[in-house]
Structure 1
C-alpha cells in the first residue's frame, strides 16, 4: 500500500514531499532492507549524512528498490571537519561516490560550528557544487536566524531548507520565525521526540486528540508537523510503523487542537538535555 504524499515547493523551485524518511543508524544489509521497505511503503525522500556513515547503504537500497533515480529525492550533509572550501568540494564528491550517485537532490551544512567559523566558506562550496551539477538544492541544518542572515549578506544566496530539532516538547520559535522570514522550509529532525518519545507516547493531550480521529499519538504529531508547514523526517525500522507514519492525509487537526499541541513545549524538551 502506498500513499499519495503532497509536496512543498522550496524557494529555489524544487518540489519535495511534505514528509521524508530518516536513515540515521540504518547501516549494512539490515539498513538496506529497512530503507527498501520504506521506499516500497511510499517514501520518496531519504535523508542521510556524511556523519551517519551510511550513504552507501542508502545508495544500494535505491538501486535495489526497482525505482528510477528521478523518483526518489536524496539528501546528505557536510560535516564541520570539511568546512574549508578546498576540503568541502572533494568531500561532496566522495559522498556521491560512496552512494553511487551522480548528484544529490539536496545537500546541507550539517552544523554551523560557530567556534570554527568557516560555515560561510562551506556555504560558498555548496553554491559552487550546485553550479557544477553535483547538487540540485542547497540548505543547512541547525542554523540560527543571525547565521542565516550572514549567509545571505555575504553570498547573496539563501538556503532552501533549515533542518532543525522540532517536536511538541521542543518548538524552536525563533529559529522557525527566521526560516519563515527568509522563505526557508523548516525540516524537522527527531520529529517524534527521540529520547522524549516515551513521554510523548503517554501524553494525555495528544492521545485525546488522536482518539477523535482513530489515530495514534505518532500520527497526530506528524500531522501537527505537516499542518505547521514543517517537513518531518521520521525513522522507523518497522514496516507497519513506516506505513502508519504516512497515513496523515485523511484527517485534519482543528485550530484548537493545533493550539493545544503548540503549547506543550517543555524547558527540558531538547533531546540533548
Structure 2
C-alpha cells in the first residue's frame, strides 16, 4: 500500500487503506484513464461494483499500471439481481474475470433488498468465498442496523465493512453507531455530497484557515473520525487534490462545525430506485 495513506484494521485483521478511489457513474471507456490517474496520484485502493459496468475498465488500469498486486486493495459488489447463494458465487466469478484478478480484497453486498429475502443467503455465499480464500474480507453496503443484526444473528459472520452514504449533510448516525458496536468499519460513499456542502460558510472558512480546498477539508473530517472514504473524480488535478489530505489536521471545534451541517441531505439514488433492478 502507499505509506502516505493510513490503514484501518478490519475485524479479521486485514489492513485496508483509509483513502480509496471510487468509480461510481464513470463510464467504462473513461474508467481506465481515471483509475490510472488515481494510481499515479498514489491511491492503491479502488472501489467498483458490478452494476457500475466498469469493472473491466478498472481491470485494464490495474494490469497496465505495473503495480504489484500485493500493493493494491480492490473492492467490488454483488448486485441485487444476482443475490442468492449460487447466483452470488457466479456473479463473483464474473466480476473477478472482468477485473482480471484471481483474488479480491473486499466483496460487498450492494444493497440489502429485504423484500427479496435473499441477503442472508447471499451473505452465506460471501462467507464461502472468504473461507476458500478467494476474497480477503467481506462486507455490506447500504445496510441499516436491523439488517446487520439479522446477518450476524443468522450466520455468526460479522461484516468487516458497511459502506453507506455519509457526508456532512447526511451523517447516518444510527448506522455508524451500529457499525461501531459490532466492530464494523464505516466506509463513506458520496463523501463530498456531490459538492453540495462545499460552499457552506463553515467549510470554506476552515479551508481558508488551512490553505486547503473545501473538498480537502471535508475528506479530512471523514478521516479524522476513523472512516474509510472513497472520493470520485475523472479530472486528474481533482483526483490528486483529493489525495493530498495528510498535511493538515482539523481541530475539535472545526470538526464540530462540520458536524453541525447535518440535515436531510441524501445525494445518491434512494434505495427504492436501486432496488428496482
Name the counterpart of 2:266: 270
What is the aligned residue count? Answer: 268
TM-score (norm 1): 0.95
Name the counterpart of 1:145: 145
Alpha-carbon contact 1:3-1:246 (below 8 Å) kept: no
Name the counterpart of 2:107: 107
Distance of 1:245 and 1:222 partners within structure 2: 8
> Cα offset for 1:3?
7.2
Distance of 1:206 and 1:238 partners within structure 2: 22
Once the two structures are superposed, the pairs formed by residues 1-273 of structure 1 within 5 Å of their partners are 4-194=4-194, 197=195, 199-267=196-264, 269-271=265-267, 272=269
RMSD: 1.3
TM-score (norm 2): 0.94
> Cα offset for 1:200?
1.8
> Cα offset for 1:23?
1.0
Gaps of 5+ in 1: none
Q: Which runs of 4+ in 1 moved over 3 A?
A: none
Alpha-carbon contact 1:3-1:247 (below 8 Å) kept: no
> Cα offset for 1:144?
0.8
Gaps of 5+ in 2: 271-277
- Segment of structure 1 superposing worse, 157-166 or 235-244: 235-244
Alpha-carbon contact 1:41-1:242 (below 8 Å) kept: yes
- Segment of structure 1 superposing worse, 245-254 or 163-172: 245-254
